[in-house]
Amino acid sequence: MNVAPAPAPTYVNVQMPSNVSEPISVGGYVGMFILMGIPLVNIICLIVWICSSNKNTKNFGLAYLILIGISVGLSILTTILIAVLGGFTALAAYTDKAGMMLSLLSL
């Protein structure tokens, strides 16, 4: 009885896909927040992070950019609201003074 030997198992070296990013450490995030506090450097860092292939930094950059957009929008709306209310207040004060002066002159 001739039994053929079992073929030896073949092992394949599996590599991780290149788009998988290692998680960023807490110190890395602290450094990113410090860089975001420096004027002009933060804009350059945001552009670099958004264009990078690392998913962690790309998501951080996009989230930070969205928060900047929301805060700028709210600042513009608040400024417009204050200007309009200030204009109404000045107009009311002006008409009250004009009415007072007219009543004094009519005496």
Q: Read off the pTM.
A: 0.62
Cβ-in-10-Å burial (0-12, 13-18, 19+) of 49 comes to buried
Rg value, the chain, Cα: 33
Structural domain contains residue 4: no
Q: What is the pLDDT of residues 66-95, one digit of tens each?
A: 999 999 999 999 999 999 888 877 777 776
Range of the domain at 47: 28-105
Assess if residue 101 is contained within a domain.
Answer: yes
Residues 6+ apart with CB under 8 A from 55: 19, 21
Per-position b or e across 57-90, b if 16+ CB within 10 A of its CB:
beebbeebeeeeeeeeeeeeeeeeeeeeeeeeee
72 falls within a domain: yes
- Give the number of domains in the chain: 1
Over the stretch 11-56, which tens digit does the pLDDT of each residue have?
A: 777 676 665 678 889 999 999 999 999 999 999 999 999 999 889 9
Of the pLDDT bands very low, low, confident and very high (cuts 50, 70, 90), residue 102 is: low
